[in-house]
Each structure stands twice: as C-alpha cells, then as structure tokens.
C-alpha cells in the first residue's frame, strides 16, 4: 500500500511537470530569460542601450560595476533572477489546483488513494522543479556570459553554486509554496489574487530598495536575499576603493551606454545566521501549506458539493430530451431518405453571436466585479472630466476585472460543433469587449465631450483598443499574462507617470497612445491569425 501511495505521488509530480514543460510558453519563457540575461551583462563596447546593476558613490563622484568574474556574476545573476521572479515567478506557476478543476482531473484525484498532504506536496514540488529548471538555465547562461565577455576566464564554480543553493533554492521554494497557498482559496485564483501578488511584490521591493543601505539586516524579512547580496557588494567595494565607509547607493536596473569604471570582487562572505534563516524560512513555507491543507478538504478546494448538485439538476432537466433521442430511429436505418438542407439555417449571424457572448460573459461574472460598480457611478460626476483624478486612475484598473475570464480560444466544443465562421466569431468577441469598455467608461466620455477634450477621447479609445488587443493575444498564450503586463503598464504609466508606459495618455502626451494603438492593431492581427 505504501508503494502504491508513493507511485501515485510521484506520478502526479511527473504528470504536472510534463504538462508544464510541453507547452510552447515554456520554451518562450526560457528564450525570454536568456535574452534578458544577455542584456543584463552588457559589454563595454556595445552600441545599444542596456540595463545592469550599478553602484553609485558620492565621495568618488561616479558610478561603478564589478569586473565580470565568477564572484560578481554569481551574485548578480541571483540579483537579476530574484528581481524578476518576485514579480513574474508566481505567474509562471499560477493556479496549480484550478488547472485540475478545468481539466476535470479533480474527479480522478479525489477517487485515488492520494491524501490531501501528498496532493498539495506534489503541487509544490512540481512548481519548485519547474522554477528550478528555469533559474538553472539562467545560471548556465551566466557562465557562458562570463566567458563571452572576456574580462575573466577563470571559472570558480563555487561562486555560482553557493549563492544558488543558499539564496535561490529557498526563494524558489517560498514562491512555489505561495502559489499553492493562494490556490487553496477561490477568491485568490483570478484577478484579485493577481492584483494582490503584484502590489505585494511592488511594496516589498520598494521597502527593500529604501533600506538597502542600512547596516542591520533582518534575514527573515530578506527572504529574497537581495539585501544580503547588496551588503556583500558594498563591503567589497569599500575595501577595494579604500573608502572609510559606505556613502552611496545601488541601482539594480539602470540604463547605461558605456561603462568603464570597474572594481574586482574576489569572494562572497557567508554568515551563519543567514544560512540558518534560510532553513527556518523553508520550514515555515513547508508548514504553512500543510496547516492550510489541514483546514481544507477536497470538497472545498474542488467545490465538489456545488458541482454535484448542479450536475444532478442539469441531468434531471436533460432526461426528457435524452429519452426522445433514444426513441428516435437511427439515421443509418433511414439512409435512403432524401436529405435537403437549407444552408441559410446554419448561417451564424453576428447578432446571434453577440447575444451569445453577452450570455457567456454574464454567467462568468464573479463577486469581485462588484468592486467596479462604485467606480462606474463616480465617473458620472463633473469632476471626472479631469482624467488625473483618483476616480479615473482607479477606474483604469477595470480591464483587469472585466477581462479576467475572457478567452479567445477556439477550442471550446460548442464552438467547434457549430458552423460559426472564424472572422465573425473573432470580431464579435472583440466588438463585445470594446462595447463593454465604452459602456463602463461612458461617464468619463460624456464629461470629456462636455468640456470638449476631443484629443483625450481619442487617447482613451486608443488605450482601450490596445487593452483589448493585449487580451486577445495574451489569452492565446497564458491566462494570467494579460494581468501581469497590464498591471505593470497601469502602475508605471498611470500611477508613476512614466511617459513611455502611459498607454491612455492621461498625462498629456498623445504620442504614447498612438504608439500603443499601432501596437494594438498588430497584436489584434496576430491574435486573429492564431485564433
């Protein structure tokens, strides 16, 4: 019996790993991380702009980076990985439990001898191995980058292995555990969970960067290891430059064109308290998942009771229809009968498709959509004509909720069983979403018409077009990709007033919405080709 349970456990892990690695998004993720790693370690003689980690010193009146040796590369690749994964990592492994519900695997899992403990652990281990494979590929890429840059050909593998084992592995384990914990509760499986993850990561990184120069480190708060890495860099820099103390700062991602100010970093120092804290963090992450698993059962995480009642009610309604079908003579028995069909009967009109989209959308609404009602009403106030006010800024987060369950997949069986043409079906979906956004922002449009801000109306329309195109293209790749990209654009462009990300042009620059509008048309064409 013990062997059967173990086989089922590792069978689940293997099945989930195969499901993740066989998707095209896995290869694209590897290529993206490899490309970002290449640009993160720029050469001195490169002609294009790049981003890297830069040390600033007020007493030396300049900016510096480390020579590309094993010690510097081993730390910086971890810094790059953790800065990336704190935002993108949870989205790579989102909804490990919900995927079983969507694929109807929950029926087989509940009827198998696998316990809740083993089921949750299989989810965590598969997430952990998946992320570990991604970060391992980036580590290998960093080794090749050191050799290709030619500043130091001496490879010290311990400088790569030790940060990987002591910093990367615990962090990846925490991210894997977090994904399982959030998916135990239905409210965190969609948009609300995505927003929570994004702002938690943004708040954490803001706090870390604000206190990165502090002398004391709380190793338990620094579960990413970013502060510990930074202090290692500061210590080596002060020693090499013969400084009396640290008087500068650190920019994890800074644009540079040409950079010759370097220093040699020889080693990484490890603190016993830091190593012990990694073990405690792993233990806490392990315990929290199973504590939550103790208070949840398969019926609660799979919602078996509700689906059972629903299926019984549906079967009772379908019983008379099934009896009628059974009593009908088979077509093979009447194969000699003439068959005349009017093709117009099967023509799918846009009007019928549009009404069908409305019904499908209404059935997919969730309680979190109620949060949008106050923002919809407040847009009709006269003050809403100023797009820089907090009402409209918050209202621009609406696409995250409105498009949370939107899919442009053509794989649904009920669509494939009809004669619906590709073109009207795709553009009906796009038209419905555009109409939905126009209705939601109708208060803002009316106020802008009253004050005759026509350029602002054009900017908003272009931004809405881009958001729909982004939804259409992202839903073909990953369900949460739209939320991830849109939240970054919304935070940088709307909240932080970063002009290049201001897709709605609410800060007065019309050129940015025009660029995003052109990109949106390209994305719409791409989504149509892949539809």
**Distance between CA atoms of residues 469 and 426, nearest Å:** 11
**Distance between CA atoms of residues 188 and 94, nearest Å:** 10
Determine the pLDDT at residue 349. 56
Q: Is 321 inside a domain boundary?
A: no
* DSSP letter, residue 439: H
**Distance between CA atoms of residues 298 and 293, nearest Å:** 9
Determine the pLDDT at residue 2. 47
Q: State mean pLDDT over 52-58.
A: 82
Do both 379 and 291 map to the same domain?
no
β-strand partners of 251: 54
For the stretch 446-462, pLDDT in tens is 988 888 888 888 999 99
Sign of CA dihedral 464, 470, 473, 475: negative
- Whether 336 shows a pLDDT value over 60: the answer reads no
Q: Is 334 inside a domain boundary?
A: no
Phi, psi of 295, rounded to the nearest 5 degrees:
-95, 0
Alpha helix (H) residue ranges in 150-225 = 158-163, 169-183, 191-210
Judging by DSSP bridges, how do beta strands 62-66 and 50-57 pair with one another? Answer: antiparallel
- Whether 141 shows a pLDDT value over 80: the answer reads yes
Determine the pLDDT at residue 510. 82
Do both 297 and 387 map to the same domain?
no
Q: State mean pLDDT over 242-257.
A: 76
Determine the pLDDT at residue 306. 43
Task: Give the number of C-alpha atoms closer than 13 A to the C-alpha of residue 197, restricted to the C-beta side.
Answer: 30
Determine the pLDDT at residue 46. 66
Do both 286 and 394 map to the same domain?
no
Closest CA to 172 of 202, 141, 131, 221: 131
Indicate the residue among 235, 267, 302 that finishes a domain. 302
Q: Which residues contact 90 (CB under 8 A, 6 or more apart)?
A: 175, 178, 179, 182, 197
369 CB-contact burial (10 Å; exposed 0-12 / middle 13-18 / buried 19+): middle
Q: How confident is the model at residue 257 (pLDDT cuts 50, 70, 90)?
A: low
Q: Is 48 inside a domain boundary?
A: yes
Do both 155 and 262 map to the same domain?
yes
Q: Is 298 inside a domain boundary?
A: yes
Question: Position of tokens 């490169």?
Answer: 46
> Is there a contact between 113 and 9 (Cβ–Cβ < 8 Å)?
no
- Whether 402 shows a pLDDT value over 90: the answer reads no
Q: How far is CA 123 from the centre of its chain?
A: 18
Q: Is 399 left (phi over 0), alpha (psi -120 to 50) or beta?
A: alpha
Do both 288 and 403 map to the same domain?
no
Indicate the residue among 302, 330, 358 that finishes a domain. 302
Do both 240 and 369 map to the same domain?
no
- Whether 151 shows a pLDDT value over 50: the answer reads yes
Phi, psi of 517, rounded to the nearest 5 degrees:
-65, -40
Indicate the residue among 302, 322, 354 that finishes a domain. 302
State the total domains in the chain. Answer: 2
Q: How confident is the model at residue 275 (pLDDT cuts 50, 70, 90)?
A: very high
Q: How confident is the model at residue 385 (pLDDT cuts 50, 70, 90)?
A: low
Q: State mean pLDDT over 344-365.
A: 67
- Whether 368 shows a pLDDT value over 80: the answer reads no
Q: State mean pLDDT over 26-54.
A: 81
Determine the pLDDT at residue 174. 96
Q: Which residues contact 86 (CB under 8 A, 6 or more apart)?
A: 201, 204, 205, 224
Joined together, the tokens standing for residue 157 give: 């593998």
Closest CA to 142 of 83, 71, 86: 71
Determine the pLDDT at residue 407. 67
Q: How confident is the model at residue 48 (pLDDT cuts 50, 70, 90)?
A: low
Q: State mean pLDDT over 422-435.
A: 82
* DSSP letter, residue 329: P
Which residues constitute the domain of residue 518? 346-530
pTM of the model: 0.81
Q: Which residues contact 41 (CB under 8 A, 6 or more apart)?
A: 52, 68, 73, 76, 142, 145, 149
Residues above pLDDT 90, as percent of the chain: 20
Determine the pLDDT at residue 170. 95
Q: How high does pLDDT run on average in the chain?
A: 80
Q: State mean pLDDT over 258-278.
A: 84
Q: Is 313 inside a domain boundary?
A: no
Do both 351 and 298 map to the same domain?
no
Do both 200 and 129 map to the same domain?
yes
Q: Is 368 inside a domain boundary?
A: yes
Q: Which comes out higher in pLDDT, residue 123 or 410?
A: 123
Task: Give the number of C-alpha atoms closer than 13 A to the C-alpha of residue 34, restricted to the C-beta side.
Answer: 11
β-strand partners of 256: 50
- Whether 321 shows a pLDDT value over 70: the answer reads no
* DSSP letter, residue 259: -
Q: How confident is the model at residue 317 (pLDDT cuts 50, 70, 90)?
A: low
Q: Which comes out higher in pLDDT, residue 58 or 327?
A: 58
Q: State mean pLDDT over 18-28.
A: 85
Question: In a 3-state reduction of DSSP, which class is residue 417?
Answer: coil
Q: Is 320 inside a domain boundary?
A: no
Determine the pLDDT at residue 74. 92
Residues above pLDDT 70, as percent of the chain: 83
Do both 264 and 362 map to the same domain?
no
Do both 160 and 92 map to the same domain?
yes
* DSSP letter, residue 458: H
**Distance between CA atoms of residues 121 and 18, nearest Å:** 17
Q: State mean pLDDT over 11-38.
A: 85
Q: Is 308 inside a domain boundary?
A: no
Do both 135 and 188 map to the same domain?
yes
**Distance between CA atoms of residues 489 and 498, nearest Å:** 9
- Whether 117 shows a pLDDT value over 90: the answer reads no
Residue 47, CA distances (Å) to 35, 194, 197, 304, 521 in order: 16, 37, 37, 59, 31
Sign of CA dihedral 238, 239, 241, 245: positive
Do both 378 and 295 map to the same domain?
no
Q: State mean pLDDT over 113-119.
A: 84
Q: State mean pLDDT over 65-84.
A: 90
């Amino acid at each position: 019996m013990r062997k059967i349970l173990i086989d089922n456990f590792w069978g689940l892990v293997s099945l989930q790993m195969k499901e993740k690695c066989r998707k095209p998004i896995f290869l694209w993720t590897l290529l993206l991380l490899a490309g970002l790693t290449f640009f993160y370690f720029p050469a001195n003689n490169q002609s294009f702009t790049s981003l890297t980690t830069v040390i600033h010193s007020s007493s030396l009146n300049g900016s510096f980076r480390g020579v590309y040796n094993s010690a510097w590369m081993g730390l910086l690749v971890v810094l790059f990985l953790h800065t990336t994964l704190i935002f993108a990592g949870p989205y790579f492994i989102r909804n490990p439990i919900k995927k079983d519900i969507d694929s109807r695997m929950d029926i087989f899992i509940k009827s198998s001898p696998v316990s809740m403990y083993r089921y949750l652990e299989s989810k965590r281990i598969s997430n952990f191995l998946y992320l570990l494979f991604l970060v391992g590929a980036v580590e290998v890429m960093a080794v090749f980058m050191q050799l290709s840059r030619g500043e130091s050909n001496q490879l010290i593998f311990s400088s790569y292995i030790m940060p990987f084992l002591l910093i990367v592995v615990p962090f990846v384990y925490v991210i894997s555990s977090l994904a399982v914990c959030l998916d135990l509760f239905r409210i965190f499986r969609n948009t609300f969970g995505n927003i929570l993850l994004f702002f938690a990561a943004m708040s954490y990184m803001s706090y870390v960067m604000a206190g990165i120069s502090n002398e004391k480190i709380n190793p338990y708060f620094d579960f990413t290891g970013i502060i510990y890495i930074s202090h290692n860099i500061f210590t080596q820099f002060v020693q090499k430059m013969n400084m009396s103390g640290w008087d500068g700062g650190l920019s994890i991602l800074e644009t540079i064109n040409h950079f010759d100010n370097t220093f040699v970093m020889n080693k990484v120092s490890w603190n016993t308290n830091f190593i012990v804290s990694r073990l405690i963090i792993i233990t806490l992450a392990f315990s929290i998942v199973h504590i939550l698993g103790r208070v949840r059962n398969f019926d609660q995480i799979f919602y078996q009771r509700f689906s059972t009642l629903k299926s019984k009610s549906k079967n009772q309604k379908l019983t008379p229809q099934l009896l009628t079908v059974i009593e009908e003579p088979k077509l093979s028995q009447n194969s000699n009968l003439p068959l005349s069909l009017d093709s117009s009967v099967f023509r799918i009109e846009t009007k019928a498709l549009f009404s069908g989209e409305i019904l499908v959308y209404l059935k997919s609404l969730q309680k979190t959509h109620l949060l949008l009602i106050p923002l919809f009403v407040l847009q009709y106030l006269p003050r809403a004509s100023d797009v820089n006010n907090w009402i409209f800024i918050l209202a621009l987060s609406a696409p995250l909720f409105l498009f949370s369950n939107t899919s442009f997949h053509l794989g649904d069986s009920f669509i494939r069983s009809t004669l619906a043409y590709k073109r009207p079906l795709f553009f009906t979906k796009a038209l419905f979403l555009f109409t939905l956004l126009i209705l939601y922002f109708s208060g803002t449009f009316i106020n802008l018409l009253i004050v005759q801000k026509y350029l602002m109306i054009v900017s908003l329309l272009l931004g809405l077009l881009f958001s729909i195109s982004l939804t259409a293209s992202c839903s073909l790749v990953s369900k949460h990709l739209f939320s991830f990209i849109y939240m970054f654009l919304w935070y940088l462009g709307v909240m932080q007033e970063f002009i290049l990300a201001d897709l709605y042009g609410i800060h007065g620059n019309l050129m940015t919405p025009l660029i995003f509008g052109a990109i949106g048309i390209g994305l719409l064409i791409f989504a149509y080709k892949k539809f």
